[in-house]
Amino acid sequence: MAGGPTTVVDSYFLGNRSHDGGAIYAFNALTLIDTVFSGNQATAAPSSNSLPSGGYGGAIVASGSTSLSGVVLSNNSAAENAGGLYVAGDHTEVFNSILWGNTVTKATEPGADPIPIVKQQIHKGNGTADIFYSLVQGLLETIPGEDPPNPADFPGSIDDDPGLVDADGSDDVSGTEDDDVRLGAGSPAIDAGDNGLIPAGVVADLDGNTRRFDDSATVDTGAGSPPIVDMGAYEFGAAPPSECGNGTIESGEQCDDGGTADADCCSSACQYESSGTACGDDGNACTVGATCDGAGLCGTCNVGAVCGAACGVAIRCKAPTPGVCRCGGPG
């Protein structure tokens, strides 16, 4: 992948294979948002001098400026280095993401220490990387011969098992369409991201559900005002985002009159317009006046007036219809 900056949103990379960068080798600036990489492989290949080459970055090789936000790298593998992400150059930032179960398949030399788990998830070659509010396997484990990692170097990040629903699917093969890397109940990645790191304009997850949703059974460990975004590409327990103007009152809406115009007592954001706001005739025989009442009605109840069938929600005709207007709920 070369050329100008590239942005990939709401995508899956499953079961791809290459000598370097099993799914993506990016020379250019790369932004990944709410995307899953599963079961991709970087395989070694013979070089011209008969020594093995390739095998770096089972999912991704990043040579340019790179950003991962709400990304899952799961069960990818590399023959030589970095089963998940290999940072070959420039700088990479990892936000609200999960790197888990990625492996390097080459045998360890006799007497040598095994490849650290964290370096099988992400390895910095000639590049640099910062990790924020992400779950990375082995991130906080001490590597033999090195100082213990300082959690402050990885703000908000953890290395606990993410509790993915079924990372290799019912066929037990990673890289196929049944791989389920959604968060299971009790996952430490629930309500653990940073709202301030969500890219501008992102309101839904990879399933099309609300990108920020509060799980009442989980103590918030992330950053920002509730609801806190989850780590990974999916929001646990969330429903599709509300759509103002569809005529159905949904989460976060006070009203929805089927339109998105103001000055009708239900605003363009599907919230009640304040009491006293000027409004036109709403066509309701049970209301009089031309200002909003602060509860979605234009005017006040015209008690006792003769009305037909369309008298609104809070002010209705008494049954049977036609009847007379009353105040209050259905009746």
Closest CA to 76 of 132, 130, 16: 16
Determine the pLDDT at residue 287: 72
Report the 3 state secondary structure along 274-325: CCCCECCCCCCCCEEEEEECCCCCEEEECCCCEECCCCCCCEEECCCCCEEE
- Which range (100-114, 137-151, 155-169) has the least confidence? 100-114
State the Cα–Cα distance between residues 5 and 318, nearest whole angstrom: 63
Residue environment code for 207-234, b if the CB has 16+ CB neighbours within 10 A, otherwise e: eebbbbbbbeebeeebbbeebbbbbbbb
Do residues 167 and 75 touch, judged by C-beta distance below 8 A? yes
Residue 262 has pLDDT above 80, yes or no: yes
Residue type, 129: A
pTM of the model: 0.76
- Strand pairing partners for 116? none
| Per-residue confidence band for 107, with pLDDT thresholds at 50, 70 and 90 | confident
Q: What are phi and psi of 120, to 5 degrees?
A: -80, -20
| Per-residue confidence band for 112, with pLDDT thresholds at 50, 70 and 90 | confident
Determine the pLDDT at residue 50: 45
Determine the pLDDT at residue 327: 58
Determine the pLDDT at residue 306: 66
Which residues does 28 contact at the CB level (< 8 Å), separation at least 6? 1, 2, 3, 4, 5, 6, 64
Q: Name the burial class of residue 108, with classes exposed (0-12), middle (13-18) and buried (19+) by CB atoms within 10 angstroms of its CB.
A: exposed
Q: How far is CA 257 from the centre of its chain?
A: 29
Query: Residue ranges per domain, the chain?
Result: 6-197, 246-331
| Per-residue confidence band for 317, with pLDDT thresholds at 50, 70 and 90 | very low
Tell me the C-alpha to C-alpha distance, in Å, between residue 207 and each of 10, 23, 210: 8, 21, 9
pLDDT tens-place string over residues 26-57: 999 999 999 999 999 999 876 554 445 789 99
Determine the pLDDT at residue 145: 87
